[in-house]
A and B are shown apart, each in its own frame.
Chain A
């Protein structure tokens, strides 16, 4: 179909708006000098993707994104920023590398390849949607056909949980025995705003 027909559909206008916002936010994520801004822009990008999922009829996935991604992962990022004293615009040290053109070139190449490869394979025809009751179907698919990957992923999570704790804890020998339980994953560090 032509661009005119495509724009004519209202959902595509919504898509376009959301898409522009997402791209802008993404751009801000990778170029912002303030890392907290970068994290928040990531929130915007993720929210945008959730909206798109709603448009596509994948409500469950959309709310999962919001809950897990925005709710947990981004918070984790913020904590990580705090702990590692991320530079916040006040730092004189530049955030990015001086020579950026190799990265630009690679990114551009990646985009070109991906875009061409994917669009060449799929035509510009209208997509075929499937009948509703997505969440129910999703649940069924998840616990019947995909139950083994599901269990495997739960193991991954378990491993990540334990691994994260083990990796990031303070060495029990180093710490002062008078201090609190060393199994805590690191709250006692000094104020990152020094």
Chain B
């Protein structure tokens, strides 16, 4: 089974129902059935950390680390299991029924979990990279003012991401989507004492939210047309060629893609990602490089049969391709002019996400997701290493750095490995994934993609050059030359460097799981799903493209080292390398942020906000105050008239009457015993008479 899909030359696995992957039985079945724990354990950890974290010896870190360790181990087990016997497993638990369908049926809200190749890969990425990042964070966040809360929010993110990638239906996907959005907001604004961090968190959240409108619309339309929220039902409808769905197919596909654009920072929704670097570096590593930003790509992957099917989403593929290409190239260019090391990596992430999206647009399921896989390792590593540098130098800016390779050897070497992987140098992981993308673009250009795909291929190669260029720049400015900053930088503690080494190892060998034609394990893993993606897999490594890609990368490294080697200490020297018109445009990020600011933010903050404030104060508050005044007047009336005069009068009269009666009755107490005796006898006589009469 495992080899069938890939060994034939230029074979394509047509989309269709799986004969390959099945519901697992035995021990694997147990694993699959227990997989609901994967998102739940981190979410449980959140609660425990919030409740008990501060009292624990490691202040809650151990709970988060334990949860992620669990996820990592579980995902490794699932990965091995999937290798042995491909799994495509789903389970649903019904929560509620909502009678909203036009025909009168009801939509079912469910909670469930999926265990198939795509999900397992994401579990692995989140779990393993997350485990390394959490370990690293223990050292990085040491002494932080909100250490425990940090891990709570981070675990929330991990849980949310796992919910997202384990969801078999779109509603649960949205739940996970929003959870990671919330966690992103919380973590970007972790140091909220500085208003700039707040602004960055809000920007991230709002930009994502704008794009989420697309996601919601897509989910709603699809659910109403198909009658179910489940991905399997949607894709079954696609397979069956459901005409109702086909009518709205383009809109659904577009809507989902817009949602993906927001989360995965595609142009023009990418503006939030560089600003998100205001958060702590582990956050940038895990969320904004390895996992959260890949949620959009994951969504495209999950919906891949939709986008492959003619008449449904296939018409959108050129759009996806173009957006991906734009993102890829324009994002990479901006990285050239950044002084902040994290911003370099942020724009690099934007660019690499563009690669993944472009691959999806070219119909390359495996290529795009493989790049997601490897990118998680080397970009996650790069961010952590950058964090290590920042931790030592106490500054984000590369103009404060230099010559650090002497002080921080482990950081230096791991950063170099990560950079080479990113640039795509064989045999590191980035080479294999980037090459797969180039091969897919080439294939697409030969098979229907036409001139557009060729253009994108060229852009991709150029992008490889740019990538290598800015990474070489970054490496040189940071690690070579003379140290520009103050104080004595030193290597980070082991709790931070060991994860770097771990991720560097993964970044180095991670690509070897998918050598085209020779060892396509990754391809087989991913193909374990109910609706086959139907993408093309290369039978063997395309040496020509590999060479071109590598050449581009080497050229980039060479140019970068030439210009920025030995750091070219003085600013003047570096300023000499400013391409006149291009650099100002890049430094202003194509004026895109300014456009958003003038077009959207200022009108809302100014007139709209003022109008809302006016209506709140005058209209709403006016009504409320009038009600309050009326109530006060009414109560005064009740008090004066009803209470004081009416009720009190009655009560006082009753009291006076009682007093008078008492005054009258007390004359009975004459003090004379014989009168008491007389009364006694009289009473006794009366009693007896009463008994006699009434029997």
Contact = CB atoms under 8 A, between A and B. Distances in A.
A41 B688 CA distance: 31
A106 B681 contact: yes
Contacts of B678: 102-103, 106
Interface in B653-695: 674, 678, 681-682, 684-685, 688-689, 692
Contact of A110 (B674, B681, B692): B681
15 contacts: A97-B674, A102-B678, A106-B678, A106-B681, A106-B682, A109-B681, A109-B685, A110-B684, A110-B685, A113-B685, A113-B688, A116-B692, A117-B688, A117-B692, A120-B692
Interface string B447-483: 0000000000000000000000000000000000000
A113 B682 contact: no
- Which of A97, A106, A120 is packed against the most chain B CB atoms within 10 Å? A106
A109 B682 contact: yes
A30 to B, nearest CB: 13
Contacts of B688: 113, 117
Contacts of A97: 674
Contacts of B682: 106, 109
Nearest to B675: A102
Given A106-B685, A113-B688, A117-B688, 7 more contacts: A106-B682, A109-B681, A109-B685, A110-B681, A110-B684, A110-B685, A113-B689
B27 to A, nearest CB: 88
Nearest to B689: A113
Contacts of A110: 681, 684-685
Closest 7 CB pairs of A and B: A109-B685, A113-B685, A113-B688, A106-B681, A106-B678, A106-B682, A110-B685
B195 to A, nearest CB: 93
A179 B205 CA distance: 112
Contacts of A113: 685, 688-689
Contacts of A103: 678
Contacts of A109: 681-682, 685
Contacts of B674: 97
- Which of B674, B685, B688 is packed against the most chain A CB atoms within 10 Å? B685
Nearest to B672: A97
Nearest to B678: A106
Interface residues of A, number: 10
Contacts of B689: 113
A90 to B, nearest CB: 24
A120 B689 CA distance: 13
Nearest to A111: B685
Interface string A86-119: 0000000000010000110010011001001100
Task: Tell me whether chain A's interface is mostly helix, strand or loop, or mixed.
Answer: helix
Contacts of B692: 116-117, 120
Nearest to B692: A117
Contacts of A117: 688, 692
B673 to A, nearest CB: 13
B2 to A, nearest CB: 106
Contacts of A102: 678
A61 to B, nearest CB: 27
Interface string A120-136: 10000000000000000
Contacts of A120: 692
A109 to B, nearest CB: 5
B653 to A, nearest CB: 36
Nearest to B687: A113
B679 to A, nearest CB: 9
B13 to A, nearest CB: 111
Nearest to B680: A106
A116 B693 CA distance: 12
Nearest to A120: B692
Nearest to A102: B678
A155 B688 CA distance: 33
B500 to A, nearest CB: 101
A103 B120 CA distance: 111
A109 B689 CA distance: 10
A113 to B, nearest CB: 5
A120 B681 CA distance: 21
A103 B682 CA distance: 10
Contacts of A106: 678, 681-682, 685
B682 to A, nearest CB: 5
Nearest to B681: A106
Nearest to A105: B682
Nearest to B688: A113
A106 B674 CA distance: 12
A106 B684 CA distance: 10
A14 to B, nearest CB: 32
A19 B400 CA distance: 137
A103 B674 CA distance: 9
Interface in A73-93: none
A184 to B, nearest CB: 30
Contacts of B684: 110
Nearest to A108: B685
A119 to B, nearest CB: 12
A103 B678 CA distance: 7
A110 B687 CA distance: 11
A145 B689 CA distance: 35
A113 B692 CA distance: 10
A124 B603 CA distance: 119
B449 to A, nearest CB: 121
A159 B688 CA distance: 33
A97 B678 CA distance: 13
A152 B684 CA distance: 28
A34 B333 CA distance: 141
Contacts of B685: 106, 109-110, 113
A102 B677 CA distance: 12
Nearest to A112: B685
A39 B499 CA distance: 122
A113 B682 CA distance: 11
A162 to B, nearest CB: 25
Interface in B118-157: none
Nearest to B677: A106
A110 B684 CA distance: 9
A120 B693 CA distance: 13
Interface in A4-19: none
A97 B675 CA distance: 11
B122 to A, nearest CB: 96
B692 to A, nearest CB: 6
A73 B682 CA distance: 29
A106 B685 CA distance: 9
A110 B686 CA distance: 9
A35 to B, nearest CB: 17
A120 B695 CA distance: 13
A183 B689 CA distance: 50
B677 to A, nearest CB: 9
A4 B692 CA distance: 30
A176 to B, nearest CB: 35
A135 B188 CA distance: 113
Interface string B188-217: 000000000000000000000000000000
Nearest to A109: B685
A62 to B, nearest CB: 29
A109 B685 CA distance: 7
B171 to A, nearest CB: 88
Contacts of A116: 692
A17 B684 CA distance: 31
Nearest to A116: B692
A106 B689 CA distance: 13
B306 to A, nearest CB: 105
